A and B are shown apart, each in its own frame.
Chain A
Amino acid sequence: MLGLGPADWQAIELTFRLCLYTTIILLILATPVAWWLANGRSAARVAVQAIVALPLVLPPTVLGFYLLIVLGPRGFVGGTLEAIGLHHLAFTFEGILVASVLYSMPFAVQPLTEAFKNLGRRPVEVASSLGAGLWDRFFTVILPLTRGGFVVAATLTFAHTVGEFGVILMLGGSIPGETKVLSVLIYDHAEAMNYEAAHRLSAMLLVFAFFTLFVVYSITRRFEVAKV
């Protein structure tokens, strides 16, 4: 189908799985962080904001390099895992999943922070005064009122993870079915002068990226209109 070989399909499946897991994990992690950034009073907020935004400016190779050290067999995390009888994370799917989560963090945190800032504290205070506990408030007030922010965060996170390349190459190498995601595969195709295969996948990603951004911007617009 579409002239794609089994290696291509394997990469597509792997990429999809990586992006899906990353998005789910990030939405869970980013929500409290974004809430704290939007509503907290602590002086540490600026520092956290900067750390979250780091992947936007750092070369992916830098992030990948440090992760390779930390998650590798002699790194703090990798070493600990080895010591308790598990495998270290370099060149594994779990490793690139950790990398993706860090790498796409700003794309989940920033839209959510924005949405929470727009929401303000008032609706939450109201819900508390009406007897709603933490989770109750989240599902009956925060989530319905910041739905747009969550959709944007999820879409951007997913799409940005699809576009990940440098970090994965550094940390994951190019192991089929484990770490060889689409972007890496395209690189491999091009390296092997297999331009036709590279072209097919690239065009697919181009369309996907456009479509994603189109959806995001139309949601953002609707969100703004609905707020007035």
Chain B
Amino acid sequence: MAQVALARDTRDEPNEVALQTRVKAGGTLEDISEMTPRYRDVLVATMSIAADLEIMTLPLDLDAMQFAPCIGDRIAVASALQDEMGHAQVMFRMLEEFGFDAYERVFERDPATFKTFFMLEWNLKDPIDMAMSHLIGDQAGYITTCDLEEHCSFGPYSRSLRKVNFEEQFHVKRGEYSVRHYMQLGPEVRKRVQESLDFWFPLGAEWFGATDDVKSRMDQLHYKIRGSSNDQLRQIWLSRVVPFCEQLGLKVPAHFDGEKGIYVLDFEMPILFNEETGKWDFRKVTWAEKLAQWKRGGSKKVPGLRRIQSELWGHDLW
């Protein structure tokens, strides 16, 4: 695993090198006192993003509960959301050990400063979008958290993800089941499934971040916070999503390259989502342009988070 090689700029920092050598050999950290400040920063940043992403699923999926086509679907979405809020509890509980105030992080922080991902910042239009969100989005999330569970050198984080991943696999299965179901409902519904996939697929592909050739911040790998690079994780995702879609007769902008023995995208990352047309423009742009779009965020992000912070629960909630 070349990516886990020691960071170059730590030659003069014996503590950093010692820590990286220890985790590279499979050692785990159990306590904050064992961390160097840099390890701690990387770990906290990783866990904070994970916590914010869990919270963002609430405004994202709430509409899907309202427009669920049947009670079974509604229960499935509600149950998945309960799982996600449970995961948020677990993540923020862990961050509390690092001195964070979970209440402030969720209810008082400026919504614009939440570190959510572009994939989770758009309105779901209908139950097909919800199914696609589980098929494409939860699969991407599941691959990320499985890597963390397997490799993360911070023991408590890795262990906490056992429960998270146990539940995430149900969301992915539910996505597969639903998409398969909708594909049996005739040409009009199939067309809508394809349209939804056209929107979701590039979102899923870019969930894993910049390609390895341009990614500069490799500390997550040096410290073995996670074990696989962006491109390695993206490859796992492609190898699950592409054959599944092809089997159902859905078109995806990716294929298996027999010579290379890997799945490849039919477009070159990064590409931009055209917010006016609601479609992807497959012409390659610069990473600076892509980062700017990610930073602006989707239309659901700030209003969705603000709703969590402002909606009244009433005094007799409990």
A, B from the same assembly: no
